[in-house]
Amino acid sequence: MFADRIEGKWIDAFCEVFERCAVKSGDPAAILSETQSRALNVHLAELALLRLGARPFHVVVPTPRNRHPVPVRSTGASEAIGKLAPVVGALGAAGFVVDCTLEGLMHAPETPAILKSGARIQVISNEHPEALERMAPDSGLEKVVRAAAKVLRGAKHMRVTSVAGTNLDIAMAGASTVGVWGWTDRPGTLAHWPGGIVVSFPKRGSVNGTLVLDRGDINLTFKRYLEAPVKLRLEGDYVRRIEGEGADAQMMRAHLAAWGDPEAYGVSHVGFGLNRKARYEALAMYGRRDTNGTELRAVAGNFLFSTGANEFAGRYTQGHFDIPVMRTTIAIDGTEVVAAGELQDVFA
């Protein structure tokens, strides 16, 4: 973007989201950030909370050293808190937490304790506020996400196919499903902005088949549209082979191998985007420092496939890919909810 300065319209957008989070005058609110956080979003969060009459305070921690063998991007599992008990205690006591860490607290090890204390966590995804402004959530999106989550929670089977060759079978019985519409107003819950996705964490041994990542699909760890097909062979939840020529397949093979951890090859979650405001081409419109790619995860009709940690299957790892796959057909217990990449009107 051209200038990282405070804009009134961005304060407005933050206020709209915090109002949906039931922030009231006089409420304490913790703003969690790290030394490498996007300062613009931290300042906007503070100003919006003050405009609403809340009583914000800052918890700022040093961005920790990367002790992993590869650069870490888009994991959703911030290591910034580092299990520091006073920080966990302060956040849990705040009631409302605005998360401005780089990776976010979605899968952070400290999050369950913070939520158990009764706090609600609003993750501000590490996006430039211009994207956040466009992706301000609305009540219509909440209804659609809630309906989709209800369907997946009652599902027994998901099948994903495509003309590119995808044929993936997913047993859904016992899977844990989460729907995110962009804000949270209930104690003990977490949401992220932008929102508009529903994902399920399958139980062990539930994912089998072939997933073909075609040209134009998106690897959000690399913030890159694929330029050549990559074929993933999955058996018992794990990517057993990565087939394909060119840089995309080579980088995926190298990145996963670098972790030295077989759990990095496991399936984390599966789901799809529901936000019709989200733009597929958005990744091409921002510099890489200005986007975390959350908007791409929410694009209506994408199949969101992720590798890495899945606590519901007993898998823990920092290795993580989020890959929005376009132009697939997704059937839930035989009902097509996405047809050739087009979200169907089954959640209205």
- pLDDT given at position 329: 98
Residues of the chain with CATH 3.40.50.980: 8-133
Nearest to 41 by CA among 108, 122, 96, 115: 122
Angle formed at CA 73 by CA 66 and CA 313, multiple of 5 degrees? 95
Tens digits of residue pLDDT in 175-204:
999 999 999 999 999 999 999 999 999 999
How high does pLDDT run on average in the chain?
95
Please state, in angstroms and rounded to a whole number, the distance separating the CA atoms of residues 187 and 99.
15
253 touches 222 (CB < 8 A):
no
- pLDDT given at position 77: 83
| 180 DSSP β-pair partners | 197
Nearest to 189 by CA among 103, 99, 278, 125: 99
pLDDT for 348 beyond 80: no
CATH class for domain 8-133? Answer: alpha beta
Count of other CB atoms within 10 angstroms of residue 216: 12
- pLDDT given at position 314: 83
Tens digits of residue pLDDT in 330-346:
999 999 999 999 999 99
Count of other CB atoms within 10 angstroms of residue 157: 14
The token pair that represents 292 in the structure block: 């975390």
Nearest to 76 by CA among 284, 317, 257: 317
- Provide the H-helix boundaries in the chain: 8-20, 39-51, 85-94, 111-116, 129-134, 139-153, 247-258, 294-297
Q: How confident is the model at residue 2 (pLDDT cuts 50, 70, 90)?
A: low
Tens digits of residue pLDDT in 46-105:
999 999 999 999 999 999 998 888 888 777 788 999 999 999 999 999 999 999 999 999
pLDDT for 12 beyond 70: yes
274 touches 163 (CB < 8 A):
no
254 touches 246 (CB < 8 A):
no
What's the whole-number mean pLDDT along residues 5-15? 97
Residues whose CB falls within 8 Å of the CB of residue 281, separated by 6 or more in sequence, listed in order: none
Q: Is the dihedral of CA 56, 294, 149, 267 positive or negative?
A: negative
- pLDDT given at position 317: 82
pLDDT for 25 beyond 70: yes
- pLDDT given at position 194: 96
Q: What is the CA radius of gyration of the chain?
A: 19
Amino acid at the residue 299: V
The token pair that represents 132 in the structure block: 């956040």
Cα separation values, 129 from 60, 81, 227, 231, 293, Å: 20, 24, 29, 35, 13
Please state, in angstroms and rounded to a whole number, the distance separating the CA atoms of residues 300 and 342.
7
Count of other CB atoms within 10 angstroms of residue 342: 12
DSSP string, 307-345: ES-BGGGTB--S--EEEEE-S-EEEETTEEEEETTEEPT
pLDDT for 316 beyond 90: no
Percent of residues, the chain, with pLDDT higher than 90: 88
Tens digits of residue pLDDT in 236-283:
999 999 999 999 999 999 999 999 999 999 999 999 999 999 999 999
- pLDDT given at position 107: 86
Residues whose CB falls within 8 Å of the CB of residue 154, separated by 6 or more in sequence, listed in order: none
The number of helices, as runs of H, and strands, as runs of E, in the chain is 8, 20
Percent of residues, the chain, with pLDDT higher than 70: 99
| 239 DSSP β-pair partners | 234
- pLDDT given at position 1: 57
- pLDDT given at position 311: 82
Residues whose CB falls within 8 Å of the CB of residue 112, separated by 6 or more in sequence, listed in order: none
Nearest to 28 by CA among 65, 58, 63, 55: 55
309 touches 76 (CB < 8 A):
no
